[in-house]
Structures are given as C-alpha cells and as structure tokens.
Structure 1
C-alpha cells in the first residue's frame, strides 16, 4: 500500500501537541509558527520536514509499518494550518480568547488522533459521504 508510515504521522501529531503546550504554557505564541510553517511547507511542497527528522529513527523498512492515507493526512494538515493561523491571528490581534480556542482545538485534535480517533478523518468521511449522496 502506498502511504505514510504511521510513526511519521504520530511524530507530526506529537510535534503539534507539544508546540501548542509549550506555546500556551510559556506565553511564547510564536512557537505556533513552527508547526504552521512545517505544515504549510508540507502542503505546498508535498514533503513534511518533521518526517525528515524522524525517518532515520525508524527501525524497520517503511513497508513494515501500518500506512496512513496521504490524501487524508493532507486534509488533516489543512485543518491544522487553519487552526494555527486563526490562533496566531487571535494572539497577535489582541484577542487571546480566539488564540487559545484554536490552539487548544488543534492540541486536542492531534492528541485524540494519537490515541486513535482522527477527528479530521471523521470530518472528511462525512463530507465525502455527503458529496457522494448529492451526486
């Protein structure tokens, strides 16, 4: 199966969770730029820099890992990027409540995905199902 090895996806999710946690704990909201820029790069170029860092640590060949759907991961990355942009706009526009809401939403979604339930997958499935029903 052509896909992204699950450990790479998990590493990206942990990167998002930890970035949100550190940004909110320290009040250094610029930290949210790190997952945002990484995510935008992966959406534009098609390669995630987090994967570059983690890939050498995989012990087995990629084909021995459970694979994640690249289209689904791209969709999830778009949602993450939107949340990060809205969060940063909130923090730097003087509306910290908006910043906190979107940062926390991303952090929870990424953490829940690590635990096994992908909110982005659920949203995309419902969208595709609705789109198919209308066709």
Structure 2
C-alpha cells in the first residue's frame, strides 16, 4: 500500500508557532524584518520542499516521524501559500509605510496560525471548500 506523503504534526505546529511569534514580535518591536523568517522558510518549502524551520525542528523529534499524527503535504503547501502571501504583503506594507495594510495582513496570518495551533485549520477548510466546488462543477460539466 502506497503511503501518502505527510509531515509529522509537531513540525507543522513548530512552523505555525514560528509564524505567530514572528508576527507578534514584529508588532512589539517594530522590526518588520522578523516577518522574513517564516516568509522565506515557507517560500522555500513551497518551491524546494525544504522548510528550514521544519528541518531544524525534526532534530528534536523524540519518535520516528511516522509515529506522529500525519499532516497532508498538499494541504500544508496550500496553507503555506496563504501564509507567504499574507506575510509578504504585511512585510512590504510595513516597509512602504502602509501600516494599516501591514497590520491587516499580519493579523490575518497570526489569527489563522493561532487558530491552527488550537486545532482548527482555516487554510484546510478553504482548501476543502475549493475541492468541493471543483467536484460539484465537474459533475455539472460531465
């Protein structure tokens, strides 16, 4: 039986905490460059299948990766795309002096990452709704 590619949940949680904490620290310190840490890491994950945050966190796993609750790679890449977009718009906005836009996008990504830490994945819900829409649309066109 072929195994579906997945990521151990603790690695996903570490990435979510990194996003959340970098946004909060940016708000507290005004150092917008902190947004670049999860931005670059998640962009590398999307483009090269190599997220340095997750690679570093993997060293700290106690059990084998397969022993943890798996998170679907496709959904995680979709979530990373949303996070990269929000972090990039937030970073660019803060640098450009568009503070309100910067706060809007960083609040969205911070709230989404914190809600995901608590157990509900907003990105996964959006992904599911898109797949449902595509499926219903395919039924109408067949």
For the aligned pair, the TM-score class normalised by the smaller chain equals over 0.9
Counterpart of 1:24 (choices 15, 23, 27) is: 27
TM-score by length of 1: 0.97
Partner of 1:110: 113
User: Is 1:88 aligned to residue 88 of structure 2?
Assistant: no
RMSD, aligned α-carbons:
0.8
Q: Deviating runs (4+, > 6 A) in structure 1?
A: none
Write the distance in 2 (CA, Å) between the matches of 1:106 and 1:43. 17
Q: Matched residues in 1 for 2:75 and 2:92: separation? A: 26
Distance (whole Å) between structure 2 residues aligned to residue 36 and residue 90 of structure 1: 14
Tell me the number of residue pairs that the alignment of Structure 1 and Structure 2 aligns: 135
Query: 1:79 and 2:85 equivalent?
Result: no
In 1, Cα distance between equivalents of 2:25 and 2:37: 11
| Unaligned runs of at least 5 residues, structure 2 | none
Name which one, 1 or 2, has greater alpha-carbon Rg. Answer: 2
| TM-score, with structure 2 as normaliser | 0.92
Answering whether residue 52 of structure 2 is matched by residue 38 of structure 1, we say no
